[in-house]
Amino acid sequence: MKGFPLLCLPNVALQEVLSTMNPLELVFLSKTSLKAQKVAKFFSKQKPISQYSIILDFENPSLQIDGTTTKCLYDISNLKYMEGYLNNDDEYYVKYSKNHITALMEFARYVIEVFGWPVRQVQLNFGKFRNKNNSITDFLKIHVKNTDFCILDGDIIADRYASYFFKNFQVTVGIVLLSKMSANFRLILPQHIHYLDIQESDYITYDQINNFNFDVLKLCKTKITNQELNLFFKNWMASKSHINLRSFLISIENLEAFDTIADLPDVIKGDPKTVRILHREQVVGGCDIKRNDGTVATLYTKSGEDGNVDLILIVH
């Protein structure tokens, strides 16, 4: 049977057909010919196709395209027999390649150039494809330019890779840093981000956190002392630092440390038998502290991962 001349349809019909296709199918259609590519590029500026966004994962090399009603995954695998749609799921395509990162970069570059979808999140593992770390950053710098969130992981000391990453690639909203850094690593973060989560934060000094001004701050495995934390909260109460802070979590040694840290003026202790809901978190006990502008926050503890105790501040 002769093929359906889809690309010869009037634009109004073409737009309707393309709008009912999932983003992976749109990408594949665009790759069928130069005309198809032009058509895809044109309609990518219009709703609903313009509303997709991308998550780029260099840890488990894949590109996810998210829309309001769908999530499609383009996964790179070194298993030849896996190539194609996984289990006939038209939202999960596996591409065979021995060069995962190169294949992902080629696909991402094509998708970004043709469809212009923003990259909402980048995930990178510095330890997994070590010799590709800087070329990934270079790729991001040239082709992605910026992202809302990034998640950086890796079981190696990643000082130079992380520095290179932050120097060359712009993150606009939040950073999750899971990789290890050396004790004397000086983290230089992009300005204006709102969210910072550092899981291995033993290189973060008190002076550094005093200069942070994020909405959400999480620091685990820290070397910040109880006295420094006490000073941190006193500074917050005096509006000397962290004016934008909405939520703060830091791992502390044990429950006894709470007494030292929460030795603050005008503390109002919470009822240990009452459960309060603050920012969707269940809070039992703890204490309320007040900033000099009247803003109230609750300070409390809860069990963290690996048997740690997490000290949490939630600003009301």
Residue 41 CB, nearest distance to other proteins (Å)?
Answer: 10
3 sits near other proteins (criterion: CB under 8 A) = yes
Please count the CA atoms within 13 angstroms of the CA of 306 that sit on its side-chain side.
6
169 sits near other proteins (criterion: CB under 8 A) = no
16 sits near other proteins (criterion: CB under 8 A) = yes
Residue 28 CB, nearest distance to other proteins (Å)?
Answer: 4
Cβ distance to other proteins smaller for residue 43 or 58: 43
Residue 40 CB, nearest distance to other proteins (Å)?
Answer: 11
Residue 130, amino acid: R
User: Using CB under 8 A, which residues numbered 209 to 228 contact other proteins?
Assistant: none
Q: 11, 50, 235, 254: which one contacts other proteins (CB under 8 A)?
A: 11
Cβ distance to other proteins smaller for residue 48 or 190: 48
Residue 254 CB, nearest distance to other proteins (Å)?
Answer: 50
Stretch binding other proteins (CB under 8 A), from 4-12, 127-135, 139-147, 229-237:
4-12
Residue 53 CB, nearest distance to other proteins (Å)?
Answer: 14
307 sits near other proteins (criterion: CB under 8 A) = no
Tell me the per-residue interface mask from 31 to 70 with other proteins, x by CB under 8 A, - otherwise.
xxxxxxxxx--x---x-x------------------xxxx
What distance in Å separates the CA atoms of residue 57 and residue 121, rounded to the nearest whole number?
A: 8
270 sits near other proteins (criterion: CB under 8 A) = no
135 sits near other proteins (criterion: CB under 8 A) = no
Please count the CA atoms within 13 angstroms of the CA of 59 that sit on its side-chain side.
16
13 sits near other proteins (criterion: CB under 8 A) = yes
SS (H, E, C) the chain: CCCCCHHHCCHHHHHHHHHCCCHHHHHHHHCCCHHHHHHHHHHCCCCCHHHCEEEEECCCCEEEEECCCCEEEEEEECCHHHCEEHHHCCCEEEEECCCHHHHHHHHHHHHHHHHCCCEEEEEEECCCCHHHHHHHHHHHHHHHCEEEEEEEECCCECHHHHHHHHHHCEEEEEEEECCECCCCCCCCCCCCCCEEEECCCCCCCHHHHHHCCCCEEEECCCCCCHHHHHHHHHHHHCCCCCCCCCEEEEEECCCCHHHHHCCCCCCEECCCCCEEEECCEEEECCEEEECCCCCEEEEEEEECHHHCEEEEEEEC
Q: 17, 173, 249, 264: which one contacts other proteins (CB under 8 A)?
A: 17
User: Using CB under 8 A, which residues numbered 75 to 114 contact other proteins?
Assistant: 84-85, 88, 90-91, 93, 106-107, 109-110
Chain positions contacting other proteins, by CB under 8 A: 1-13, 15-23, 25, 28-29, 31-39, 42, 46, 48, 67-70, 84-85, 88, 90-91, 93, 106-107, 109-110
